[in-house]
Amino acid sequence: MNILFFILIALSFGVAAYHQIVDPLAAGMPSAMDALSKAMLDSAAGAVTLTLGLVGSMTLFLGLMKVAEAGGLLAVIARLLRPALIRLFPDVPANHPAMGAMIMNISANVLGLGNAATPFGIRAMQELDRLNPVKGTASNAMVLFLAINTSSVTLLPTGVVALRAAAGSQDPAGIVATTLVATTLSTLTAVITAKLLARFFPLGSTPIDLSAVPAPEEAPAEPSAPLPATETGAYPGWVSAVALLAFFSIIPLTILWGKAIAPWIIPGLAMLLLGYGAVRRVRVYEVFVDGARDGFQLAIRIIPYLVAILVAVAMFRASGAMEVILTPLGALTAPFGLPAEALSMALLRPLSGSGAFAVLASIINDPAIGPDSYVGYLVSTIQGSTETTFYVLAVYFGAVGIRRMRHAVWTGIIADIAGVAGAVMICSLLYG
């Protein structure tokens, strides 16, 4: 991350300096260096504004998480999915709160909840850090979790569907199937890459004995499960299989009625978590407030990390360095189904979610392109099937003070490439 951050700054400065010296200054227009300075200051202020905007959602969903944890729901879900997760995360005890928090984060991403997933993810990182043998360095479990998080299978990209509808699309939910294919490919790539690269980026310490790790203070007592659990702490295999089949049965429902289901997701999630807590005799109000108390402190903690990455990205765009890279690359990728308009989305998406969303809006509202053209479907799928990788790394690792990210950056980039490749493949097949 240190190298990437410096490269972005250096390239931006170099391109802006060239334009400052060579280009004639037009009347009434700022110079290249003036534009670069303004972009730096505006993005730094925007990072603080963005963080304050996250306070509300962090407070809300951390409170809901606390109620779910106190009622034992997270432990139940973790035990239900333990057969799959124990193979992916052998360093995390199956009944640890980290497992439940990761499941809630992944579930929120699968349903396209956006900011709703962030508080769950930060909570998961905090719990994973309790198991981390080398503080300040990303553990294998942290890297794998972020790899899955940034490439998560998405059933319903609600924000993109809404934008397509606003742009006059005749089939705004037409990207549900393409997004599902692209994100499935990117998630599989992320998991494989994280596992393979881990051996080339040693943690730097002998792993601790997890059986000796004390449970965190806020972890609830082992709840009484509504289903019989085996001696290993997991439900019988047939129960997990039925649960997974029920989950995958949601896929055709989202394809057929995704637009109708979307408004129910967040209110339904709140009702489910609070209702479960009430049934388990949890004092939902007090527990909710207790869990929400950390929201503001978490938001303040991530401000420096957001300022760093958002300033670097803003400089990269304002200097013209991104355009310098896009022009020659677009000519090379167009024959493979990735025209320059979509290439700009592919390059910008890992760096700036809001920037990529703005580019998407401009492309599908262009009368020469439109939301229902091949390019319109492709850029919509790229937006819905890739993640703002560097934002996620900055926020999640910043929340627990991780400075040495090991192979997390490379894993995220490779997963993003796989997601773009999957989007090109499926959109070329269906709409090319």
Per domain, the residue ranges of the chain are 2-12+31-431
- Give the pLDDT of residue 376: 92
- Give the pLDDT of residue 67: 83
Q: Is 158 exposed, middle or buried (0-12, 13-18, 19+ CB in 10 A)?
A: buried
Q: Are the CB atoms for 393 and 146 separated by under 8 Å?
A: yes
Contacts of 351 (CB under 8 A, 6+ apart): 309, 313, 316, 388, 390, 391
In order of 83, 87, 140, 148, 198, the CA distances from 195 in angstroms are 18, 11, 8, 12, 6
Tokens linked to 262: 């979307």
Q: Are the CB atoms for 374 and 432 separated by under 8 Å?
A: yes
- Give the pLDDT of residue 96: 82
Q: Taking the CB of residue 370, how many other CB atoms lie within 10 A of it? A: 16
User: What residue ranges in 107-193 does DSSP mark as E strands?
Assistant: none
Tell me the C-alpha distance between 154 and 58, whole Å. 21
- 215 three-state secondary structure: coil
Q: Are the CB atoms for 277 and 67 separated by under 8 Å?
A: yes
Per-block mean pLDDT, blocks of 10 residues, the chain (432 long): 79 91 78 89 80 70 75 69 78 81 76 66 90 91 90 72 78 81 90 93 59 38 39 60 70 61 71 87 86 69 73 82 80 86 82 72 82 91 82 86 91 92 90 80
Cα-based torsion angle of the residue sequence 288, 289, 294, 296 in order, rounded to the nearest 10 degrees: 120
Tokens linked to 263: 């408004």
Cα-based torsion angle of the residue sequence 264, 267, 269, 274 in order, rounded to the nearest 10 degrees: -150
